[in-house]
Amino acid sequence: MAPAMVRNSRLDQPKMTRSRGKLPDTFYYLNNFQTVLGSIDRRYAALLSSEERQFIAHFSTLPRASGALLVRMVMRKGSLFRRSRLQYPEIGDAVAAVAPLLRAGWVDDSPDLDLTQLQKLLTTAELLRYFSGSRPYRTFNKP
């Protein structure tokens, strides 16, 4: 990505900034993850558990979109995500991408949630709409 020249009006001296462009490889994070897995498999295979070796072998057979979605979820904060928030242009249909992950048992599409987990997933507007009768006041602070 080539830097762009921008004039700083106060000092009237050129200032270098980076323009935001499209990444040449939109699956860079998946490729990096696959590189790390391959390196671990080659160098430390004897130290891996059978479950870890199976994960590496199975991950390499996933469709590209499914592998990318799993890596995206692993990189996100937390372990619970709303389906509507898993929208990535390069992945496309998240429901189709998650299907192989569900079959592998790596994703749970109907986890049991406690109240704190539910509060973190719902918006404040949704909490007020669904639970307004359980609170004596109309303001609500998310955890």
Q: Which residues contact 130 (CB under 8 A, 6 or more apart)?
A: 122
Which of 5, 67, 69, 78 lies closest to 36, judged by CA?
67
Rounded to two decimals, what is the model's pTM? 0.76
The 10s digit of each residue's pLDDT in 54-63 is 999 999 999 9
φ/ψ bin of 12: left (φ > 0), alpha (ψ from -120 to 50), beta (otherwise): left
Paired tokens of 143: 């955890």
pLDDT at 41: 96
Residue 11 — very low, low, confident or very high, per pLDDT cuts 50/70/90? very low
Query: What CA–CA distance (Å, rounded) separates 67 from 56?
Result: 11
Neighbours of 58 (CB within 10 A): 12
pLDDT at 95: 94
Question: E strand or H helix at 5, and its extent?
Answer: strand 3-8
φ/ψ bin of 76: left (φ > 0), alpha (ψ from -120 to 50), beta (otherwise): beta
pLDDT at 130: 81
The 10s digit of each residue's pLDDT in 64-117 is 999 999 999 999 999 999 988 999 999 999 999 999 999 999 999 999 999 889
Handedness of CA 56, 71, 111, 120 (dihedral sign): positive
